[in-house]
Amino acid sequence: MTRKTINNIKISVKTNFREDVSDLNHGSYLYNYRIVIQNLGMNEIQLLRRYWKIEHLNHGSSIVSGDGVVGQQPILKQFEVHEYISGCQIIVPIGRMSGFYTFQDLVTSEIFPVEIPPFQLIYPAIMN
So where are the chain's domains? 2-122
Distance between CA atoms of 85 and 73, rounded to whole angstroms? 14
Q: Across all residues in the chain, what is the average pLDDT?
A: 93
**CATH match of 2-122 with 2.60.40.1470:** yes
Distance from CA of residue 1 to its chain's centroid? 12
pTM of the predicted protein model:
0.90
Q: What is the pLDDT of residues 85-115, one digit of tens each?
A: 999 999 999 999 999 999 999 999 999 999 9
